[in-house]
Amino acid sequence: MPPWNPITGHLLCLAPLLSRFPKDIIQNYLLMELSKDFSKTDNLLYLDLWPFSMPMIVVTSPDLSIQACQQHDLTKPAALKYFLEPFSGGEDLFTMNGLEWKRSRAMFAPGFNANYLLGQMGHILEETSVFVEILREHARKGDMFSLDRLTCDFTMDIIGAVCLNSHLNSQRQFNPLASAMRSQIAWHLRADEMNLFKRWNPAQPLIMWKNSRTMNNYIGKELDKRFIERQGGEKDTSSRSIIDLVLDNYMTENSSLDMAHGLDQSFKKWAQVQIRLMIFAGHDSTASTICYSYYLLSKHPNALAQIRAEHNEVFGTHLKTVSAQLLENPQLINKLSYTNAVLKETLRLFPRQTLYVVENQE
Ligand code: HEM
């Protein structure tokens, strides 16, 4: 660990580090830089930043991460709930522990399956063609725009299509669900927010409550719609969304329930929370990965040339045919091994963190 002080803990060691970076630097990056300075041999760093956060162990090695995330059933910390609840609206896959997590995770497992995702290629291509169109429009105009904003809308639209089977269209126009989630993120207070105008702004809880209601109403209507369609014997399994998988499971497990009165309210609430989590957890992570990979490719023209060469080899040089090829044979995407390596390298250089509580350390 860095030098520790009984009163200030490790807070003082952050000062020289912070001075090297922009004020709004993402916390993950700071922790990684700090661990480079202090945990050269074992990739474990103990950090006591009380009262700004709970004391934590920062893990930066893949082996130790696997121990923390997979081999031991570690409890997730309460701080995670404070952070996630405004987005998901309740106990979600991220914050659940033990058996409750296992049960919920099992319901979503088919949705994380690689073959299932390849089956969603139609949805993904549709949203991607809008994204590419917008990029082209910007390129023609030569204007300045926020790539982060655009990629967030893009990934939000993909998740809307894959999870809800619903076209959010947020890349082109206003969508209540996407807009409420983005507003929720903008209004969410960090635990260490020092600006008192932000911390005590009376509008903040009202806006967040309204956003939450908007998201629940939107997802609730989609759930009811899909439930009615399924009761009507809808057989089309080609475009099954994650909502459908969850409803399948619910209807099989509760075949004895009287479904005539619609969805059970507690199930509906549970599903709203999990879908809100998917939208939150899935959009920004994927969007920032796209941004960082474009950034890295712009800095490494050789890698960009190799990606282009790989795409030409797999798809040929006629751009207009790529969508049709992928639709017909989604497995083609698995041939892009260099592109995959670039994405993995991007995530290695700009990683995301996971939080667990290590109990009974003695
Ligand atoms: C580049 C993209 C992504 C990155 C880097 C990423 C990263 C992560 C990480 C580090 C975790 C914690 C894993 C653990 O605790 O063991 C996680 C969990 C999760 N992610 Fe992602 N994620 C990405 C995309 C997505 C997408 C697209 C979705 C959904 C649409 C999603 C939904 C979730 C959910 C629901 C969990 C909780 C799973 C559980 O605890 O059972 N993520 N993600």
CB 120 within 8 A of CB 159: no
Q: How far apart are CA 268 and CA 263, in angstroms?
A: 6
Containing 352, the helix (H) or strand (E) segment is none
Which of 94, 107, 151, 349 gets mutated to test ligand 1 (max ligand atoms within 8 A of its CB)? 94
Q: Which atom of ligand 1 is nearest to the CA of 155?
A: 27
SS (H, E, C) 155-167: HHHHHHHHHHCCC
Torsion of CA 197, 198, 203, 204, to 10 degrees: -160
Which of 285, 354, 355 gets mutated to test ligand 1 (max ligand atoms within 8 A of its CB)? 285
Which of 286, 292, 350 gets mutated to test ligand 1 (max ligand atoms within 8 A of its CB)? 286
Q: How far apart are CA 222 and CA 167, in angstroms?
A: 11
Q: Which atom of ligand 1 is nearest to the CA of 70?
A: 16
The alpha carbon of 318 and the centre of ligand 1 are apart by a number of angstroms equal to 34
The alpha carbon of 88 and the centre of ligand 1 are apart by a number of angstroms equal to 14
What's the burial of 189, exposed, middle or buried (CB within 10 Å: 0-12/13-18/19+)?
Answer: middle
The alpha carbon of 195 and the centre of ligand 1 are apart by a number of angstroms equal to 30
- Angle between helix axes 203-231 and 242-253 (nearest 10 degrees) is 70
17 and 132 both lie in a single domain: no
115 and 68 both lie in a single domain: no
The alpha carbon of 69 and the centre of ligand 1 are apart by a number of angstroms equal to 12
Q: Who lines ligand 1 at CB under 6 A?
A: 69, 93-94, 105, 159, 277-278, 281-282, 285-286, 289, 347, 352, 354
39 and 180 both lie in a single domain: no
Integer-rounded Cα radius of gyration of the chain: 22
Nearest CA owner, ligand 1 atom 28: 282
Per-residue confidence (pLDDT) for residue 213, from 0 to 100? 97
Q: How far apart are CA 305 and CA 314, in angstroms?
A: 14
Q: Is residue 79 part of a domain?
A: no
Domain that holds residue 258: 110-349
Q: How far apart are CA 101 and CA 109, in angstroms?
A: 12
The alpha carbon of 11 and the centre of ligand 1 are apart by a number of angstroms equal to 30
Cα distances (Å, whole numbers) of residue 125 to 131, 147, 155? 10, 19, 12
Nearest CA owner, ligand 1 atom 35: 278
Q: Is residue 126 part of a domain?
A: yes
65 and 125 both lie in a single domain: no
Q: Is residue 354 part of a domain?
A: no
Q: Is residue 357 part of a domain?
A: no
191 and 55 both lie in a single domain: no
262 and 171 both lie in a single domain: yes
127-156 residue pLDDT tens: 999 999 999 999 999 999 999 999 999 999
46 and 132 both lie in a single domain: no
- 300 closest CA partner among 331, 335, 345, 264: 345
Instruction: Name residues of the chain where pLDDT drops below 50.
Output: 358-362
Query: Tokens in use for 214?
Result: 């908007």
324 and 214 both lie in a single domain: yes
The alpha carbon of 21 and the centre of ligand 1 are apart by a number of angstroms equal to 27
Nearest CA owner, ligand 1 atom 3: 285
Domain count for the chain, please give it. 2
Q: Is the pTM of this model over 0.85?
A: yes
4-59 residue pLDDT tens: 999 999 988 888 888 888 877 777 778 888 888 776 666 888 999 888 778 888 88
Nearest CA owner, ligand 1 atom 26: 282
Q: Is residue 226 part of a domain?
A: yes
Tokens 């479904």 map to which residue? 259
Nearest CA owner, ligand 1 atom 12: 354
202 and 336 both lie in a single domain: yes
Per-residue confidence (pLDDT) for residue 358, from 0 to 100? 46
143 and 53 both lie in a single domain: no
The CATH number for 196's domain is 1.10.630.10
Distinct helix (H) and strand (E) counts, the chain: 16, 2
- As a residue count, the chain comes to 362
Q: Is residue 84 part of a domain?
A: no
Q: How far apart are CA 186 and CA 180, in angstroms?
A: 10
Domain boundary pick from 72, 100, 131? 72
Domain boundary pick from 72, 90, 125? 72
The alpha carbon of 286 and the centre of ligand 1 are apart by a number of angstroms equal to 10
Nearest CA owner, ligand 1 atom 11: 354
Per-residue confidence (pLDDT) for residue 291, from 0 to 100? 94
Nearest CA owner, ligand 1 atom 36: 94
Domain boundary pick from 72, 87, 120? 72
The alpha carbon of 191 and the centre of ligand 1 are apart by a number of angstroms equal to 22
Q: Which atom of ligand 1 is nearest to the CA of 277?
A: 35
The alpha carbon of 282 and the centre of ligand 1 are apart by a number of angstroms equal to 7
137 and 250 both lie in a single domain: yes
Reduce the DSSP state of residue 303 to 3 states and report it: helix
Q: Is residue 94 part of a domain?
A: no
Taking the chain, what is the end-to-end CA distance rounded to the nearest angstrom?
18
Query: Tokens in use for 79?
Result: 């701080």
Q: Which atom of ligand 1 is nearest to the CA of 101?
A: 41
Q: Is residue 85 part of a domain?
A: no
39 and 172 both lie in a single domain: no
